[in-house]
Homo-oligomer: A and B are copies of this chain.
Amino acid sequence: MRVVVPFSATEPKTRLAPVLDADERRAFARVMLADVLDALDAVGVDPAVLATEAIDLNRPVTVDDRPLDAAINDLLAASAESVAVVMADLALATPDALDRLFAAEGDVVLAPGRGGGTNAFVARHPDFRVDYHDASIRDHRRIARDAGGTVTEIDSYRLSTDVDEPADLAEVLLHGEGRAADWLRGAGVQLTVADGRTTVERP
């Protein structure tokens, strides 16, 4: 199985601007990537990074500056083996959660993200393709079924949590087991409760 982690190296995580400045967002995105790669290493797969521009990393990095759909779909079309794609901002991903993803049966295994996204998948069907726009989980179910493939969905809070917005940082502080949580604490990001909702602040 080929395991790919797409990484947006150019101005990552702009929606975290209320909490982190541009340099911090870049640094934090790299820490989350490192956590995801560590968790994949621990599962025993060999992840390759697909980045939008060259980054300094002690493992294979393929640079493809096209939009994500084009880059992933070329890869799916060209690969003779099964392909897994795991997003680089799954700061809560653990080896256990990823193990469930890889161990699940089905031609296409989807890990839904909150808000309709698709945070990770395994494609064992030659005709599966991605369409990450809008509520992609619906499109991915349809694409898999239209191709005649069986679809399995993984019920994982950890894999459903991609980190895009300040409130997502609260999830990292509450449940993170990797360096991303430590990085946030080091940056002075703290949990706070406002109007009954848990989010973060930097006092």
Q: A134-B193, A155-B96, A155-B157 are in contact. Are A175 and B112 (CB under 8 A)?
A: yes
Interface set, chain A 98-149, CB cutoff 8 A to B: 112, 114-116, 134-135, 137-138
Interface centre among A157, A174, A198 (most CB of B within 10 A): A157
* A137 to B174 alpha-carbon distance, docked (Å): 8
Once A134-B198, A137-B174 are accepted as A-B contacts, the answer to whether A191 and B116 lie under 8 Å apart by CB is yes
Q: A115-B197, A156-B157 are in contact. Are A174 and B135 (CB under 8 A)?
A: yes
Q: Judge if A35 is at the interface, Cβ distance under 8 Å.
A: no
Q: Mark A148-163, 1 if CB is under 8 A from B, else 0.
A: 0000000111111100
Partner of A198, one of B96, B97, B135: B135
Determine if B197 and A135 form an interchain contact, defined as CB atoms under 8 angstroms apart. Answer: no
How far is A193 from B139 in the complex, measured between Cα atoms in Å? 14
Q: Is A89 an interface residue (CB 8 A)?
A: no
Min CB distance A56 to B, Å, is 29
Chain B positions within 8 Å of A94 at CB level:
155
Inter-chain CA distance A114–B162, complex, in Å, is: 12
Distance between Cα atoms of A198 and B161 in the complex (Å): 14
Is the Cβ of B170 less than 8 Å from the Cβ of A115? yes
Q: Does A167 contact B (CB under 8 A)?
A: yes
Query: Smallest CB–CB gap between A106 and chain B, Å?
Result: 15
Min CB gap A130→B, angstroms: 17
Contacts of A193 in B (CB 8 A): 116, 134-135
CB contacts under 8 Å to B, within A164-183, are: 167, 170-171, 174-175
Chain B neighbourhood of A159, CB < 8 A: 157
What is the minimal beta-carbon distance from A195 to any residue of chain B, in angstroms? 9
16 A-B pairs besides A94-B155, A97-B155 with CB distance below 8 A are A96-B155, A112-B157, A112-B174, A112-B175, A115-B167, A115-B170, A116-B174, A116-B191, A135-B191, A135-B193, A137-B174, A155-B158, A156-B156, A156-B157, A157-B157, A157-B159
